[in-house]
Amino acid sequence: MTFDSFLQNLANGISLGSLYALIAIGYTMVYGILRLINFAHGDLVMLGSYFAFYGVSMFFLPWWAAFIFAIAVTAGVGVVMEKVAYRPLREFPRINLFTAAVAVSFLLENLAIVIFGGRPKAFSRPPFLDKMLNIGSITFVSYTPIIIGVSLVLFVGLILIINHTKAGTAMRALSKDIETTGLMGVNTNKIIMFAFLLGSCLAAVGGILWAIKFPQINPLMGVMPGLKAFVAAVLGGIGNVGGAMIGGLLLGIVEIMLVAFFPSLSGYRDAFSFSILILLLLFRPTGIMGEVQPEKV
């Protein structure tokens, strides 16, 4: 492999990894607070891309307005999902909460089939994202740097929110100890809603960018990215936002590089990602950035 094609693959890997990371953050925030593997999160990615698609093709919005519309509606869905399906179950056995997530996931996917139709739709990129760029001898499509740039801005913004706002501090406190934090006068419901709001916004952005990169959307398109992002969240240390970013980037880069270096193994790409996950779990169950918490006896 030449150095140029290495760089090209690296850029590709980073852009895929950024998408994983954007989606993984929602998983990790919700898990950190509620200890819930919210498998419906992947379906918000799908919704984000569909809402953007309809914003352009049905309401004839300019692309930027369609994107904002899509993010807002997806965030609304995320918040409603928490309020209707998860909040009443918080005191229930955890398996009920998990099953609720499964039910919501089935519901969103099949509602999408009912409403949007089961056939894939072609997502048209805004023209400026369809250009070929040449930097030195490397060629890539203009969406690659845009995906990376947008994700980077969002990462920085999110870290600022989490570390420097009241809501962010409350979120971190909730993930340490939900009961005590509630007793200290923090409105738990509001903060959890805020976490779902943030996570859903990022999932929507992830969905739109995903559709820009892979411009065919279908009702089940969120399943695999969702699962991979979840793997990324665990790799980084579930519950840890910084970890989700690192895990996402790492997973994206490793997947692309595997295919680039060993084209004959490309069919095993998914198996490879899951193998990394399992190996990591066995040797460091709390992930790259997770804290090891000894069990109290």
Partner 1 sequence: MKMKRNTILTIIALLVIIVLLFLAEKSLNPYYKRILNLCAIYSIFSVTFNLIFGYTGQFSLGHAGFAAIGAYIAALLTLSPAQKAVNFFLKPIISPLANVEFPFLFALIVGGLLTAVLSMLIAWPALRLRGDYLAIATLGFSEIIRSLMVNMQSLTNGALGLKGIPGYTNLFWSWGCLAVCIFIIKRLVDSSYGRAISAVRDDEVAAEALGVNLFKHKMMAFGVSSFFVGVAGGLMANLISTIDPKVFLFTLTYQIVGVTVMGGMGSLTGSVISASLYTIFLEALRPLESQFTIGSLTVPGIPGMRMVIFSVLLLMVILFSRKGLMGNTEFSWDGLFRLFNRLRSKKGEGSTGGDES
Q: State the Cα–Cα distance between residues 151 and 18, nearest whole angstrom.
A: 6
Under the binding rule (CB under 8 A), the answer on residue 106 touching partner 1 is yes
Rule CB under 8 A: choose which of 61, 79, 193, 223 binds partner 1. Answer: 223
Under the binding rule (CB under 8 A), the answer on residue 260 touching partner 1 is no
Q: How far is CA 62 from CA 46, 59, 202, 210, 253, in A?
A: 20, 9, 21, 19, 33
The least distance separating partner 1 from the CB of residue 8, rounded to whole angstroms, comes to 26
Rule CB under 8 A: choose which of 282, 292, 293, 294 binds partner 1. Answer: 282
Task: Compute the half-sphere exposure of residue 218: CA atoms within 13 Å on the CB side of its CA.
Answer: 8
Q: State the Cα–Cα distance between residues 191 and 38, nearest whole angstrom.
A: 17
The least distance separating partner 1 from the CB of residue 226, rounded to whole angstroms, comes to 11
Q: How far is CA 180 from CA 58, 76, 144, 176, in A?
A: 48, 28, 44, 9
User: Could you give the 3-state DSSP secondary structure of residue 216?
Assistant: strand
Stretch of 17-25, 121-129, 136-144, 279-287 contacting partner 1, by CB under 8 A = 279-287
Sign of CA dihedral 64, 69, 40, 191: positive
The least distance separating partner 1 from the CB of residue 206, rounded to whole angstroms, comes to 20
Closer CB to partner 1, residue 111 or residue 184?
A: 111
Rule CB under 8 A: choose which of 127, 136, 263, 267 binds partner 1. Answer: 267
Under the binding rule (CB under 8 A), the answer on residue 80 touching partner 1 is no
The least distance separating partner 1 from the CB of residue 241, rounded to whole angstroms, comes to 18
Under the binding rule (CB under 8 A), the answer on residue 64 touching partner 1 is no
Residue 42: its H or E element = helix 41-57
Closer CB to partner 1, residue 59 or residue 92?
A: 92
Angle, helices 188-213 vs 143-164, to 10°: value is 170
The least distance separating partner 1 from the CB of residue 63, rounded to whole angstroms, comes to 28
Under the binding rule (CB under 8 A), the answer on residue 95 touching partner 1 is yes
Instruction: Give the amino acid at 10.
Output: L
Q: State the Cα–Cα distance between residues 146 and 87, nearest whole angstrom.
A: 36
Under the binding rule (CB under 8 A), the answer on residue 262 touching partner 1 is no
- The answer to whether 210 touches 47, Cβ cutoff 8 Å, is no
Stretch of 31-39, 55-63, 122-130, 166-174 contacting partner 1, by CB under 8 A = 31-39
The least distance separating partner 1 from the CB of residue 156, rounded to whole angstroms, comes to 29
Closer CB to partner 1, residue 257 or residue 276?
A: 276
Where along the sequence are the contacts to partner 1 (CB under 8 A)? Answer: 35, 37, 39, 85, 88-89, 92-93, 95-96, 98-100, 102-107, 109-114, 118, 219, 223, 227, 230-231, 234, 238, 267-268, 270-271, 274-275, 277-278, 281-282, 285, 295, 297
